[in-house]
Structure 1
């Protein structure tokens, strides 16, 4: 396959002259900043936030580079992964003309962003073992297919998609393959970020919301070739990551050891939770998970969900999602939270085996 990024871009994006912010127009340090119409007197707060933040988040990207080994020129930071997803549609998909491939059951924001941008979604369901239907995807692709989204480990099923199948898409598809690795920290499998130089049509999405425990800050990451990242930066708002988020993330990224400890604890609790639930005769199947949640097929899922809600325990009802019929998605909590969940599940089913 001969990949040509220019052939994928929308014509208006090729011609787009991005907004040039005040902080883009000079390099280095300055003692008097009178360029951006800020309030020079400071902020009505203990920390001064009266200056606009670094529009390209250089310090944060440098720290991410040291952790993940991905050069800063291959990193885009967004207001959650959702911003990166939306930019992909706006950059590469012509409204009312182009289409993307989704592989349900999968993360719902791909379809939401497609609908917002008036882009057709062609759905090729995963197989019964929650793997890619390569032949089905090939049949669905046409000359106007610009993106294929693959979530791995997948949400809501929790399993990883076979690497060789994703590589098959990357080699044979002329558009972009977007691999969403929001849950990669909980998997033993390597990240596709190591393969950016091999596959010019690869975009990898990750987040600080899961393993890093920074969901409230809304910081997502996209990794791709420098040319694709340049497109992201061309389209994004000039100051899309605020100063407070950048400061907190910089401090948090110094705590790799703590995060790795949490990941180990989550994986350990995940296995305990899966074993305990599997022991119930009312539980039909627990999907092996590489994420921080498990998908459990069980009897009376909606009634159990409502019962748990009444006890102040919230899980996710996926029982009406195709291929997830009869399933609840349960996030792995602390040991105490998992015990509380199991106790209430046992009460609901009238079991004493947990």
Structure 2
């Protein structure tokens, strides 16, 4: 049912990508005089005077070992936001095509749609924050190119029912993008395992959350080889800098440390839920598969401002659709969580 050539923008199909110096020569040499770099080095302890690998092969090779996905099925970008933007620019004709989002959800799907002049169709989640598959199907037409699904979802924290996502994958002729930024904290299986089953599936992940590399901006997309080829064709030639590549590769050797942090985060999340539930201003705490919890309160604005005055910053989500009165609270270190609870215990 899925044919990439039917949904690819004609100008992208015919695009000749920029050919960089590092595309035209691969391998090692003793003298590089091809890229107009500074031959003397960098005014730093580490030299960054040479352009980085445009396809980040060393990082992809290590990710391949961890994720069980061939390097040719991996795209690396400047955060997941770059992958989002490239998918819009590759598959959505401005002023013609549309995409579907399922609010409440990650806000960049909408922002990037607006930047790229792509119409947005909003199909709210159900009251228990699950996909309304029938309503989504009712909003699909011949110009619908992408369905964006965040699972575990931001800001609600829950995972989407797997069967619902698979129904969309099996019956939609466009792309279904499953954003798994928080998958490391979830008991659910990653949809990466389904890449060979569904040619229209794109799975996004990140090193910003569980891996603790938010400052490096390393986003990942996993998809069929033909989709990844399109994304590499559209991306800037050197979209991930050398420092981010080197540090990401170093971090990816420390799986045990990350797994220990994940376990501690989940333990702390469970403690936070139990402690927050005791406060009379907490009306509900929604189930979470992420490193945060969504807490419905009697006065989100008042509590938020009170915490700010005490040097504690959470995210006020009360203006977000279906999140009225809710605060999104990231799970911190044990000391940070104790400070949060102690401060809230004095709120009146």
- Provide TM-score, normalisation by structure 1: 0.98
Q: What's the counterpart of residue 311 of structure 1?
A: 310
- The residue that corresponds to 2:220 in the other structure is 221
Q: State how 1:191-270 maps to structure 2 within 5 Å.
A: 191-270=190-269
For 2:91 and 2:127, the matched residues in 1 are separated by 31
The equivalent residue for 2:143 is 144
Other-structure match for 1:37: 36
**Runs of 5+ in structure 1 lacking a partner?**
350-354
User: Partner residue of 1:272?
Assistant: 271
In structure 2, C-alpha distance between the alignment counterparts of 1:309 and 1:281, rounded to whole Å: 20
Q: Cα distance, 1:27 vs. partner?
A: 2.4
RMSD: 0.6
| Matching residue of 2:81 | 82
Equivalent residue number for residue 283 of structure 1: 282
After superposition, the C-alpha distances for 1:164-184 in whole angstroms (9 at most, x for unaligned) are 000000000000000000000
Does the residue aligned with 1:66 lie in a helix, a strand or coil?
A: helix
Distance in 2 separating the partners of 1:58 and 1:195: 23
Alignment of 1:107-186 (within 5 A): 107-186=106-185
Question: Paired residue for 2:26?
Answer: 27
Aligned length: 348
**Deviation per CA, 1:63-90, whole angstroms, max 9, x where unpaired?**
0011111110000000000000000100
Residue of structure 1 equivalent to 2:326 = 327
The whole-number CA distance in structure 2 between the counterparts of 1:28 and 1:340 is 53
Q: Which runs of 4+ in 1 moved over 2 A?
A: none
Q: CA deviation at 1:281?
A: 2.2
Corresponding residue for 2:56?
57
Q: Secondary structure at the match of 2:147?
A: strand
Query: C-alpha distance in 1, partners of 2:339/2:126?
Result: 34
- Aligned partner of residue 213 in structure 1, secondary structure: coil
SS at match of 1:348: coil
The answer to whether the aligner puts 1:73 opposite 2:58 as a matched pair is no
Residue deviations 1:178-209, cap 9 Å, x none?
Answer: 00000000001110001100000000000000
Structure 2 gaps of 5+ residues are none
Deviations 1:30-80 (A, max 9, x none): 111111011111111111111000000000000001111111000000000
Match of 2:245, SS state, is helix
